Structure 1
Amino acid sequence: MNRIVTGIGALLASAAPVLAGGIERAPQSLAPLFENGNYAELSFGGVNPSVKGTDVAGFATGDVAQGYGFFGLAYKHQFTPNLSGAIIVEQPFGADILYPGANSPVLGGTAVEVNSTTYTALLRYKFDNNFSVHGGIRGSHAKGSLSLRGEGYGGPPVPTGPDDPPGVSGYDLDIDSAWGVGWVAGVAYEMPEIAARVSLTYNSPIEHDFGMKETFTIPGVGTVPVGNDSYEVKTPRSWTLEGQTGVAADTLVFGSIRWVKWSEFKVDNFVFPTQTGAELVEVEDTTTYTLGVGRKFTDNWSGSVSFLYEPSEGDTVSPLAPVNGRKAVTVAAIYTMDNIKITTGINYTKLGDATLGVGPSGAKREVADMDDSEVWGIGVRIGYSF
């Protein structure tokens, strides 16, 4: 039963979270910390999204979301019967959006790329009454770039009225790589006799002090520098409540509720919002619900199926994060042989329809509607206990 529990926790961190709210790609899971004894794991996989729609001029946007791969590493060490620690390497935040230039005159050429890797060091102390506490520090290394193109971003350099577009077509932003540091803290309660565990974990915001280079590409003029300075960007805080329990012989149910304060994810610089009156990216807070069931079939094989729901938030979303709500199903197979555990999961996500808007908050100008979007993902996690 314990192999099912830990295998499912590993799966949810590898295959299920694709194109979540904001730019989240993984939920910063602490599953390795709850493995028995000493433990090491490697995870990897790939995601193939299809995000498309129609701009306000009636042109198809084309598929704007690019596929990506991911990897993760983790090591957990049991120092004493009560004290353990773990080091986790993962890629929780990222974006790879490109509106094909030959498709939409409203958004064609707009692009954003964000890459990040986090390194988390944790300690967990387990009391004799089944309660435990865990916490540690998290370092994040990130970089990015974006380009704004098309009539949706056209107009005068500074809006003259509430319905005017921001007037920043041709804008390019290059964000140098930088480190940021945050912290993690949580509590858990376990009942091993029924494979039950409930945990609550808080992830603090992580502040990065990025060097940013801003330029405008103007037809007939060329590239004009407009800003080159250091600005602070904060990745959002989050709360994650997870639970699981055995309900029958070799069967358990599990679930989670995750809240992310995306509204504090702001990218401020010389042009945004100082010159335009609009945020570069505005993202609503998200709450994600997961519910599933796992079953052990033989001594070597077990499996699970889980369902995920993230309701849409707000009326419009940014063209740089064209996702608003999702429903997903993940099917997993877990094979155990001696001290080795291999988890393979396949995920299908149906993305909610999204209306894209640009401009100042409260006066956004609709530029496109995204519909019939979906994501396929596959993840593999190899764990070794010793």
Structure 2
Amino acid sequence: MKHTLIAVAAIAATATSAQAGGFERSTTPLGFMFERGNYVELSFGSVRPKVSGALIAAPSVTTGNVTENYSSVGLAFKADLTNKISLGVTIDPTFGADVAYPTGTGYPIAGSTAKLRGDTVAAIVRYKFNENVSVHGGIRSVGIGGDLFLPALGNYRANFANDRDIGYLVGVAYERPEIALRVALTYSSETSHDLEVSGFTAFPPTPGTLAGTSTVKLPQSLTLDFQSGVAADTLVFGSIRWMDWTVTKLDGPTLPVPFNDLVSYDHDTITYNIGVGRKFSDAFSGAISIGYEKHHGGNVGNLGPTDGQKSIQVGGTYTHQNMKVTAGVRYVDVGNATALSGDGNFTGNKAVGVGMKVGFSF
């Protein structure tokens, strides 16, 4: 138990706009920086979301499932340069959205599609003052881009070219290895992106070819991670994560108000997770955790028609010599939402995600 972190498959993500607010699909991993010795980790995830709605005034007019399945791959590597200094590199598919309203449903925005893709490449340094206290920090290269098609608005089609910006992260950790205690606080900075836009619109007052730039900010965040042994071979763990989503706004060039407001958020989000893990043998441990994100109410955007979430996740870790394999499944009750400027009601939404991590110490 002294050096064992009982893990769950955190890469088993959730539906669009439902994991940690906005369109975040995963957080930049930091747990690998606390592994003993040199370490490399490869992670996989696959998610099947189901988000659908209907017109409030005509419940028989439904959207069908507006979200698409997706998968992700991540990589992390850490090397101990000295007994006090470690260097890590991680590649993570942090942001994403896949929205596609089926055609032929009669819903006002049937046929609309949107995709966003964002990734984070981070270089992280950890310095240990002693066995108990350490600090970590580094730089983050964050990229974001996507495309959009809105047939109801003059076949408006826009491609947002990928743009990268440099941010940073900084944090501190306190550990008591004899009781498997670790508390870590990490801040990640905001990044700003100027996306070059190309496409076409027939929507007045300025039909024609699209050209220009849209600026979007990706939010700063503050994350508290904790774990502690509470009995022999038993661990309690969890996290609290705040994200400043109210700074994120993406406009569609030439579209008049209010149609130009493609992505925006009225509330920041705080996501809570807590769980318990148990080491059953030297080779196998298991864990179960629950998650919660507040339902705020009010109207949400048509390209992310969810509001809050509740989740449960079960995972297990198998360890053999220098190899550690973690797998898990997560079920998410995606929060109900009102979209289409108050005319569409999205209920009964859910997502199921599976994930696996394979790590090697050397």
User: What's the RMSD between the two structures over aligned residues?
Assistant: 2.0
* Structure 2 match to 1:183: 168
On the 8 A contact 2:76/2:88 being kept in 1, the answer is yes
Equivalent residue for 1:327? 310
Structure 2 residues without counterparts, runs of 5 or longer: none
CA-CA distance at 1:299 after TM superposition: 1.1
Residue 144 of structure 2: aligned partner: 142
2: CA distance between counterparts of 1:132 and 1:194? 17
> How high is the TM-score relative to the length of structure 1?
0.87
Corresponding residue number in structure 2 for 1:35: 35
Partner of 1:15: 12
C-alpha change, 1:279 and 1:346, in structure 2 (3 Å) is same
Partner of residue 48, structure 2: 48
CA distances 1:228-250 after superposition (whole Å, capped 9, x unpaired): 11232111111101111000000
Q: Which of 284, 293, 301 in structure 2 is aligned with 1:301?
A: 284
Out of 100, 105, 108, the position equivalent to 1:106 is 108
- Kindly provide the CA deviation profile for residues 87-109 of structure 1, in whole angstroms up to 9, marking residues without a partner as x: 00011100000000111331201
Moved more, 174-183 or 290-299: 174-183
Match of 1:316 among 273, 276, 299: 299
* Alignment pair present for 1:5 and 2:2: no
Greater mean alpha carbon deviation, residues 81-90 or residues 139-148: 139-148
Asked if the contact 1:172/1:215 (under 8 Å) is kept, the reply is yes
Distance of 2:3 and 2:55 partners within structure 1: 49
Verify the 8 A CA contact 1:285 1:313 in the aligned structure 2.
no
Which residue matches 1:250? 233
Deviations 1:303-328 (A, max 9, x none): 00000001112411101111101100
Match for 2:183: what amino acid?
V
Matches within 5 A, 1:185-204: 185-204=170-189
Q: Pairwise mapping of residues 52-131 of structure 1 onto structure 2 (< 5 A)?
A: 52-56=52-56, 57-58=58-59, 59-128=61-130, 130-131=132-133
2:332 alignment counterpart: 349
Q: Is the 8 A contact 1:212 1:230 kept in 2?
A: yes
Q: Deviations over 1:275-317 (max 9, x none)?
A: 5485221222111000100000011110000000011124111
TM (normalized to structure 2)? Answer: 0.93
Task: Measure the CA separation in 2 of the matches of 1:297 and 1:22.
Answer: 37
Are the aligned partners of 1:17 and 1:27 in contact in 2 as well (CA < 8 Å)?
Answer: no
Check conservation: 2:306, 2:337, Cα contact below 8 A. yes
Distance in 2, Cα, partners of 1:69 & 1:129: 38
Q: How far did residue 207 of structure 1 move?
A: 1.4
Q: Structure 1 stretches of 5 or more lacking a match?
A: 151-167, 358-364
Residue in 1 that maps onto 2:262: 280
Q: Distance in 2 between matches of 1:80 and 1:44?
A: 30
Q: Report Cα offsets for 1:37-75 as digits up to 9, x if no partner.
A: 100010012100011111244301000000000000000
Aligned-residue sequence identity (percent) comes to 40
- Residue identity in the other structure for 1:47: V
- The answer as to whether partners of 2:171 and 2:184 remain within 8 angstroms in 1 is yes
| C-alpha distance after superposition, 1:204-230 (max 9, x if no partner) | 1111221112521469xxx94253112
| Inter-CA distance 276–215: structure 2 relative to 1 (3 Å threshold) | farther
* In 1, Cα distance between equivalents of 2:4 and 2:13: 17
| Structure 1 residue ranges (4+ consecutive) displaced by more than 6 angstroms after TM superposition | none
Q: Please point out which of 329, 346, 355 is paired with 1:370.
A: 346
- One-letter amino acid matched to 1:7: A
